[in-house]
A and B are shown apart, each in its own frame.
Chain A
Amino acid sequence: MQKFQGVDYYNFDSLLSEEEILVRNAVRDYVEDNIIPVIEEHNQNCTFPMEVIPEIAELGVFGANLPEKYGCANLNNVAYGLIMQELERGDSGLRSFVSVQGALVMYPIFSYGSEKQKDYWLPKLAAGTAIGCFGLTEPDFGSNPGGMITRAVKDGDSYILNGAKMWITNGTIADVAVVWAKLDGVVRGFLVEKGTPGYSAPEQKGKFSLRASITSELIFQDCRIPAENILPNVAGLPGPLKCLTQARYGISWGVIGSMMACYDSALNYSKTRIQFDKPIASFQLIQNKLAEMITEITKAQFITLQLGRLKDAGKMNHQQVSLAKRNNCKEALNIARVARDMLGANGITDEYPVIRHMCNLESVKTYEGTEDIHALAIGADITGIQAFR
């Protein structure tokens, strides 16, 4: 198979720095050599490739935009985004793992944690010797997390947690869970360690999507944690929502990787698949599909690059992230579906990455805010009228 050459129709690379390109190429090569050969089997077996954790930690992808003091690389946000893109070209499950670890576990500890929490957890999470998960969603509260039922009650020098979280990426394998629960009616963040009595994290089975990623329930039954495990510097729903902004930013880049994988497959396939004595790429209907794909990829690249430049300049707002997350997930899923179609029967097999990406993107479109919810966030911003309830 030909080595993946990237998708760059508009000389996008000319807008990247030398170091951004180095970052992208290093992760691209790693994924090409180590993820793509094994991912279909993990996807079939519904397992996360645990063996790659030390390798990707060594590569430096966990919390890559956080300071060097904690063992991180202190990359800018565009380089960080390019990492997400390349990981997700491998698989959305792999990117999800890295997003959760960096944007949803390291970021809140870094932003809201005590010095002691930061010094203890961040180096371990960066080195991949500890795995984290982020528990916000509950069985009855998804798009509306503010309604959460999980409660914390102060008892001497402990908090006691009761409630349940659902759809939590990495839950079963996490050494530390960042759990959002209401304390006296206010959403607060707590660090719950694996093995704490009253805490369990059974894996959720039966997924057709994001199969190479572990998804779990988190159950708290009179789970007693030390009072020092509260995140001291955050109170209220904006706390977890700011984490989601970080993760959604990464997803916006990530799904460009899925788009590239599907486009690349469809392009190569259509040039070699002969029907009616010609490569199917010679038919206008097929060319139109390819033209649509490269157009959407190019648009997504520029929206997302500018989003990254705004983030690096400290000028990005969360509605802009909603726009990129919503658009890119929607278009990635469209591209995956069309690519699936272009591959005919081969499109439903694991000989090609397309249907895996297509199924994965159903999750990626849903988690971290559905298409509808992001439309409402943009709508509220441009009209000044909240339409959530």
Chain B
Amino acid sequence: MEIIVCVKHVPDTASRIKINSDGNGIDTSDISFVLNPYDEIAVEEALKLKEAQGGKVTVVTLGADNSVSSLRTALAMGADSAIHLKSDNWTGDSYATAKALADEIGKNSYDLVLFGKQAVDDDSSAVPQMVGEFLGVPSVSVVVGLEIDGSNGKAEREVEGGKEIVEFSLPAVISAQKGLNEPRYPNMRGIMQAKRKPVNTVEVGVADSKSTVSQMEMPPARSAGKIVADVSELIDCLKNEAKVI
């Protein structure tokens, strides 16, 4: 089975984020970047399928030069090869991202394309479905269970108060949700082997962005709490200050 996993290099969620001086993005100088946590789940699922059924796992990213380190993490986990899509005019817009990824994926043979359900930087949750559309193949999002049998697949999705089982045919696009699996840690041998695995760099022009980020703001600082002496003061505050009762 040929599996392609699309991954994104994102700021570590534990990093302290600062807005850049233009006010339309974040200051990346002081933060560490990691492989998007949901994409780790997608990589893990690809590796498990490969281990069970044979095949090949290729990881793809669209991003700046430093995003190669997330490809390297996926290779260290066990992926076989990587493609780095480089572009001068990419701004992060979901449509343009999906178009560039779909164009590259379309040049390869594939049975399954895996994504994380969202990237933890912009949280758009848009690219996997768009790639499915561009490729003209079924796509199933926010998947917590996956079975592949020959050219058919069955995915389990979480829906409000229950679960939904979706059947589809391959090739298909799947986006992974927490709970699908427990991603492995890259091990020491894997990290050394990753150095010898191929990373293919492809220069791409990306389509026109359909959106641009005009402004970013930090959430307002939380004001200090208030300690009340007794229940009657609490009720008074809730009534007259917070005006919630």
Contacts and interface: CB of A to CB of B under 8 A. Distances in A.
Contact of A74 (B14, B15, B185, B192): B192
B76 interface: yes
A254 to B, nearest CB: 17
Interface residues of B, number: 20
A284 interface: no
A112 interface: no
Nearest to A23: B191
A165 to B, nearest CB: 31
B191 A59 contact: no
Interface string A1-45: 011010000000000001101110111011000000000000000
Interface string B47-88: 000000000000000000000010011001000000000000
B188 interface: yes
Interface stretch (A60-68, A298-306, A348-356): A60-68
Given A59-B187, A73-B188, A19 B195 contact: yes
A204 to B, nearest CB: 32
A68 B188 CA distance: 11
Contacts of B186: 22, 26
A75 interface: yes
Interface string B158-197: 0000000000000000000000000001111111101100
Given A19-B195, A22-B191, A75-B192, A3 B185 contact: no
Contact of B189 (A2, A18, A25, A68): A68
Contacts of B187: 26, 58-60, 73
Nearest to A4: B14
Residues of A in contact with B, size category? 20 to 34
B185 A68 contact: no
A68 B187 CA distance: 13
A229 B223 CA distance: 70
A192 to B, nearest CB: 29
Nearest to A3: B14
A2 B185 contact: no
A73 B14 contact: no
Contacts of B13: 3
B14 A2 contact: yes
B185 to A, nearest CB: 5
A123 to B, nearest CB: 13
Contacts of B188: 23, 26, 59-61, 64, 72-73, 75, 79, 83
Contacts of B73: 22
B222 to A, nearest CB: 15
A64 B187 CA distance: 10
B192 A26 contact: no
Contacts of A30: 185
B69 A60 contact: no
Contact of A26 (B32, B69, B191): B191
Interface in B190-216: 190-192, 194-195
B185 A29 contact: yes
Contacts of B192: 19, 68, 73-75
Contacts of A5: 12, 14-15, 32
A27 B187 CA distance: 9
Interface string A57-95: 011110010001001111100010001000000000000
B215 to A, nearest CB: 28
A58 B78 CA distance: 13
Contacts of A72: 188-189
Interface in A96-113: none
A87 to B, nearest CB: 12
Contacts of B189: 60, 68, 71-73
Contacts of A27: 185
Contacts of A61: 188
Contacts of B195: 19
B185 A18 contact: no
Contacts of A83: 188
A18 B9 CA distance: 14
Contacts of B191: 19, 22-23, 26, 73, 75
A150 B131 CA distance: 71
B182 to A, nearest CB: 10
Interface string B14-39: 11000000000000000010100000
B13 to A, nearest CB: 8
Nearest to B76: A22
B140 to A, nearest CB: 29
A3 B72 CA distance: 22
Nearest to A6: B32
A71 B188 CA distance: 10
B185 A26 contact: yes
Given A2-B14, A74-B192, A22 B185 contact: no
A18 B66 CA distance: 10
Interface in B1-15: 12-15
From A19, A22, A73, A79, residue with most partner B Cβ within 10 Å: A22
Nearest to A63: B188
26 contacts: A3-B13, A3-B14, A5-B12, A5-B32, A18-B69, A19-B192, A21-B69, A22-B72, A22-B186, A22-B191, A26-B76, A26-B185, A26-B186, A26-B191, A30-B185, A58-B187, A59-B185, A60-B187, A64-B188, A72-B188, A72-B189, A73-B187, A73-B188, A73-B191, A74-B192, A75-B192
- List the 3 closest A-B pairs by CB distance, nearest first: A60-B188, A73-B188, A3-B14
Given A26-B76, A60-B189, 16 more contacts: A3-B13, A3-B14, A5-B14, A22-B191, A26-B185, A26-B187, A60-B188, A60-B190, A61-B188, A68-B189, A72-B188, A73-B188, A73-B192, A75-B188, A75-B191, A83-B188
Interface of B: 12-15, 32, 34, 69, 72-73, 76, 185-192, 194-195
